Amino acid sequence: MLNIFSKESKATKKAKLLIKETELVLQKNRSKILPDAISIVEQRVGNLKRALEAQNHQDILKTTEDLEIASSDYLSKYKKSKLRQNIEALAFAIILALIIRTFVFQPFKIPSGSMIPNLLVGDHLLVNKFVYGTKIPFTDIEILPLEKIKRGDVIVFTYPNNEKDPSKNGLYYIKRVIGLPGDDIDLNGRNLVINGEEVPIEYIGNYSDERNSEQFDEYREDLFGEEHTVIFRKGKENTNRGSYIPVTKVPKGHVFVMGDNRDNSQDSRFWGFVPIENIAGKAFLIHWSWDFGNPDIVNKVRWDRILSGID
């Protein structure tokens, strides 16, 4: 058995690749190549194949060289240059990346603490762009949704209230869906009230913000079967209702969103409902996390958060 790092093994690999490339050029361009040239090239392909079958190293080297010469003499104008191959590969990679970013996944970085304790400043997320369905740009073709928007989903969306603050036009936000179209929403102290039913919360303990050591009360919130944690400032029994709560009815085609850091989040309580058409997608994975505030360069990466899901 040949050592994969031996000269014989490398020569065999090179020969097989040359045969494959030569036969592909012949197959694609047979009608354009002179019959005599085809005959010469095919004869030398056959010689190289027989040398490979016999596993004669010297014959493999000689017949490989013979085929390279014939290929250069008769097929060179039908082959793509290395530069062209590299350009095409780069163009394909760019187009593929654009397609993936446009239709499949989009990266997003957490810029603020509004989603603490579940998402930290410096978390880098992947957002599923087609899970709720989407329309192919410049067409009327719609990609069917894989699932419906649910209470508790963490979504990325563009700022919805551009007429009041044009400076935020196109700015991306990330929040949790609290209310769906038709929902009534109110707050009772720290408890959400949706359609007249109080959302249960259970006190877990203290939470310390790693950025400034500010202390919070941490709760587990059960949003009708979707559980996640939320925090509130200590000593503040009632969270801010903003100007949009109580909500008598979330409008059709919109959702009501809030941050998990309930006393430190600009959300639907303050600037209103998010049109479903503004939603870029559902956040589902933390692929990288960087603690900007940590002075220790070794510990800036939050290794325990990498490739973790989002509750």
Domains along the chain with CATH numbers? 7-78 (1.20.1270.10), 97-309 (2.10.109.10)
Does 204 score more than 90 pLDDT?
yes
- Say what the pLDDT of residue 299 is: 80
Q: Of residues 71, 114, 265, 289, which has the active-site annotation?
A: 114
Q: Of residues 71, 129, 175, 289, which has the active-site annotation?
A: 175
Does 132 score more than 80 pLDDT?
yes
Q: What is the mean pLDDT of residues 92-114?
A: 76
Cα 32 to Cα 42, 44, 61, 78, distances in angstroms? 15, 19, 29, 9
Q: Write the DSSP assignment of the chain as a string of letters.
A: ---TTSHHHHHHHHHHHHHHHHHHHHHHHGGGS-HHHHHHHHHHHHHHHHHHHHT-HHHHHHHHHHHHHHHHHHHGGGSPPHHHHHHHHHHHHHHHHHHIIIIIEEEEE--SSTTTTTS-TTEEEEEESSTT-EE-TTS--EEPPSS---TT-EEEEE-S-TTT-GGGTT-EEEEEEEE-TT--EEEETTEEEETTEEPPEEEEEEEE-TTT--EEEEEEEEETTEEEEEEEETT--S---TTT-SBS-PPTTEEEEE-SBTTS--SHHHH-PEEGGGEEEEEEEEEEEB-TT-S-GGG-B-GGGTTEE--
Does 131 score more than 90 pLDDT?
no
- Say what the pLDDT of residue 1 is: 45
Instruction: Supply the mean pLDDT for the chain.
Output: 87
135-167: pLDDT as tens digits: 666 566 667 777 899 999 999 999 998 777 777
Q: What is the mean pLDDT of residues 227-249?
A: 94
- Say what the pLDDT of residue 5 is: 59
63-88: pLDDT as tens digits: 989 888 988 888 887 766 566 666 76
Q: How confident is the model at residue 278 (pLDDT cuts 50, 70, 90)?
A: very high
Q: What is the mean pLDDT of residues 253-270?
A: 96
Q: How confident is the model at residue 233 (pLDDT cuts 50, 70, 90)?
A: very high
User: Considering the chain, what percentage of its residues have pLDDT values greater than 90?
Assistant: 50
Cis peptide preceding 117, ω within 30 of 0: yes
CA quadruple 64, 65, 71, 77: dihedral positive or negative?
Answer: positive
Does 264 score more than 60 pLDDT?
yes
114 is catalytic: yes
User: Considering the chain, what percentage of its residues have pLDDT values greater than 70?
Assistant: 89
Tell me how far apart the alpha carbons of residues 125 and 25 are, in angstroms, rounded to a whole number.
44
Structure tokens at 296: 């220790």
pTM of structure = 0.69
76 is catalytic: no
Q: What is the mean pLDDT of residues 5-10?
A: 80
Burial of 253: CB neighbours in 10 Å, binned 0-12, 13-18, 19+? exposed
- Say what the pLDDT of residue 272 is: 94
